[in-house]
Amino acid sequence: MLIEFRPATDPEILALVTAQQYELRVADGGLDGQVTVTRDDIDYLVVVVGGRVVACGGIQRLDAVTGELKRMYVRPAYRGRGVARALLVAMEELAFGRGYQTLCLETGTYLPAAIGLYTSCGYEPIPVYGEYVDNPYSVCFAKRLPVAA
């Protein structure tokens, strides 16, 4: 398993985000209403297994000390293999390197596997914030990152 940076314009990132959005639409019955495309202000990482990009995730700056996890997605055939957990650790390391003290995220109430992953990795529930405040399907989490010695 290889984890590497990719620009927002990478066709593999676009393919994964498109697949994620389709899967979310199916999972929430089209109720959530969010449509997200790739953004230049997000640092993307991908997971490559056997030469194939199988997962992605990104970090967007919220302020000088806070980053937000964005677009975490693992292709269905690669779930249950520790790919998401490895990607999450890599993104936390990236955030730490960028000087962030906290990582936060939003996910859907209809995604129990995602909620389970985040809570098992030390993310704790926080009040819904920002653009998610009016979304009844949003649930938010945050994790304090270690402080450099």
Give the E-state strand segments of 19-131 in sequence order. Answer: 42-49, 52-63, 66-74, 102-108, 124-126
pLDDT in tens, 54-82: 999 999 999 999 999 999 999 999 999 99
Low-confidence winner among 16-25, 47-56, 68-77, 127-136 (lowest mean pLDDT): 16-25
Average pLDDT, the chain: 91
Q: Greater confidence, 22 or 114?
A: 114
Provide CB contacts within 8 A for 9, sequence distance 6+: 38, 40
How large is the average pLDDT for residues 137-149? 88
Parse the chain into domains and list their residue ranges.
2-144
The CATH number for 2-144, chosen from 1.10.10.10, 3.50.50.60, 3.20.20.70, 3.40.630.30, is 3.40.630.30
